[in-house]
Amino acid sequence: IADEPTTALDVTIQAQILDLINKLQKEFRTSVLIITHDLGVIAEMADRVMVVYAGKAVESAGVRDIFRNPRHPYTRGLLKSLPRLDMDREVKLEVIEGMVPDALSFPAGCRFHPRCSFVKKKCKTEEPALVDAIDGHQVRCWRHDQI
């Protein structure tokens, strides 16, 4: 388990750490669980991704599927908030409005609903289960089929 293994490191040291993790994984023929906020590290290192919001898994899928076809509004918002090299410079990055909820008083229903642009009445009262949306892609959202 590597918890934020590259946080606050310069690019050179970060690459060395990631290379070492890859080497150890191959040498010991084991899985590695990387906990990180760095989507670049995820894209480079992961086979599978679990996105967590306010302590709950909201989406889980293969790394390519998460980046190409996010099914949860939080995952979608994260990806749309990142600059990309192939982006038109005049396109504004999206912002996820609002604040992360207080861990001592999560909202009823979906924990993301106060910040969600897809919110509907049910989201405010009922917490969705983590369900299979499509092959190997799980999501915790009442409206995943509309995203």
Same-domain status, 37 and 62: no
pLDDT surpasses 80 at 1: yes
Same-domain status, 38 and 68: no
40-59: b (≥16 Cβ within 10 Å) or e = ebbeebbeebebebbeeebb
The residue segments making up the domain with residue 83 are 47-146
Same-domain status, 3 and 26: yes
Distances (CA, A) of 75 to 28, 30, 147: 32, 27, 11
Of residues 52 and 134, more confidence is placed in 52
Label residue 106 by pLDDT band (50, 70, 90).
Answer: very high
Same-domain status, 12 and 80: no
Where helices occur in the chain by DSSP H, the ranges are: 11-28, 39-45, 63-68, 73-80
Same-domain status, 34 and 103: no
pTM (two decimals):
0.90
